[in-house]
Amino acid sequence: MLALTGIFGVAAYSVSNLLRALGIRIVLGARRRQVLRAALGRVFRLLAAGLMVGLLLGIAATKLLSVIVYQATPRDPLVLAGVVLAMLLLGLLATWIPAQRALSIDPLILLRED
């Protein structure tokens, strides 16, 4: 839950930094899908980097994790894949919400804000 809250905060901040650029793209005639891809692309790269670092640190801490987690092998591929997939999906959902909110705002309002 803590990770999801952090991901949502980073996603909302990242999209809020792109509001002006998204407004310009909309005014110039970009399709909704293109604007959404621009908003999600940057956060997706951040998510991928965070997942890789977290996965590497998790594997490095397998000795400690094997003591904490009962009846789980330290490098259980099913658990590792499940965690990566869950965090990726939750991160994309947390990104989708601010991006949709940004797309629903009038582009002229986005361009006036500074």
Contact 110, 19 (CB under 8 A): yes
Tell me whether residue 112 is in a domain. Answer: no
Q: Is residue 99 part of a domain?
A: yes
> How many structural domains is the chain composed of?
1
Domain that includes residue 74, residue range:
2-106
Listing DSSP states for 20-65 in one string gives HHHHHHHHTT--HHHHHHHHHHHHHHHHHHHHHHHHHHHHHTHHHH
Instruction: For residues 6 and 10, give the distance between their C-alpha atoms in angstroms, rounded to a whole number.
Output: 6
Q: What is the pLDDT of residue 23?
A: 80
Per residue in 47-85, pLDDT tens?
888 888 988 887 888 777 777 777 667 677 887 888 888
Decide: pTM greater than 0.75. Answer: no
In the chain, pLDDT over 70 holds for what percent of residues? Answer: 94
Which amino acid is residue 7, in one-letter code?
I
